[in-house]
Amino acid sequence: MQQSKQPWTEIIQSKSSLFSVNLAEVWRYRDLLFLLVKRDFITFYKQTILGPIWFFIQPLLTMLVYIILFGQIAKIDINNVPQIAFFLSGITIWNYFSESLTKISTVFKDNASVFGKVYFPRLIMPLSIVFSGLMKFLVQFTLFIIVVLYYTYVEESIHPTIWVLATPFLILLMALFALGIGMIFSSLTTKYKDLTFLLTFGIQLFMYATPVVYPISAMPERLKWIIKLNPLSGIFECFRYGYLGSGTFETSDILTSTALISVLFIIGVIIFNKVEKDFMDTV
């Protein structure tokens, strides 16, 4: 009696299209994704005294520094928004983007030993970083919401708008941007290690080219168009306009950010797909 052939569970090919992203395979490894996210969350704070409380302490300390430097000394015009709410809004979303980008940019180097022993979709690693960062973001975002509620219903000094509903889309855009740029740098650093130092320094400079500690309205008119070329500018302005009810947000800004981020994400996937096939020879 002839036995029926069992379908293959894995097909490993030497060549594939640069545009091929096997999302079905990524979905089949969702348990691995969950375990990696859980590992990152537990191991990072396992040997700390305060544990996840650091999620609150970090943005609060950073906020105090910004209030002193940019609010009291530099006296940046923040459109009469309470300084605590203004600076905390920028810190909350910037931390998510910058930390995700930094970790994704070294994903090949940091996980070379694992990649060389076990097969799984390589895209799982950068995705796990994005989701791990999202957990930290949600904790800090809760702190920000508490501040917003206080200034909305107690002080009555800010007035949120309907654009708060765009929050999930804004988070998605930041994740895609971090993934796109991170995968490009991660792919390039397998051969050019100096780019790691360039990225570390570049992220610090990029923060000042992003409206984290200032609104676009505070910039000189001749420089505003340069700031708006930054894909994050539209995201930050939309986020603040939604929760703080202030800023110079225009719908065209978020559309521009969406287009630029989509292009960079596609480029990142293409380069990542190309390098993952032979990065073990150069890492």
pLDDT in tens, 200-257: 888 888 998 899 999 888 888 888 888 888 999 999 999 999 999 887 778 888 999 9
- For residue 251, the model assigns a pLDDT of 87
Backbone phi, psi, residue 273, to 5°: -60, -35
Residue 140 in any domain: the answer is yes
| The total number of structural domains that make up the chain | 1
Residue of 175, 183, 181 whose CA lies nearest to 135: 175
Low-confidence spans in the chain with pLDDT less than 70: 1-23, 44-52, 112, 115-116, 120, 276-283
- Which residue shows structure tokens 């800004």? 253
DSSP 3-state of 241 = helix
- For residue 199, the model assigns a pLDDT of 83
- For residue 169, the model assigns a pLDDT of 95
Alpha-carbon distance values, 230 to 76, 185, 227 (Å) = 20, 18, 6
Residue 136 in any domain: the answer is yes
What ranges in 74-121 are assigned the alpha helix state H? Answer: 83-104, 107-110, 112-115
Max CA distance (Å), the chain? 86
Residue 239 belongs to domain spanning: 23-40+49-281
pTM above 0.85, yes or no: no
- For residue 37, the model assigns a pLDDT of 81
Residue 234 in any domain: the answer is yes
Residue 245 in any domain: the answer is yes
DSSP 3: P
Residue 153 in any domain: the answer is yes
Residue 2 in any domain: the answer is no
Residue 15 in any domain: the answer is no
Residue 273 in any domain: the answer is yes
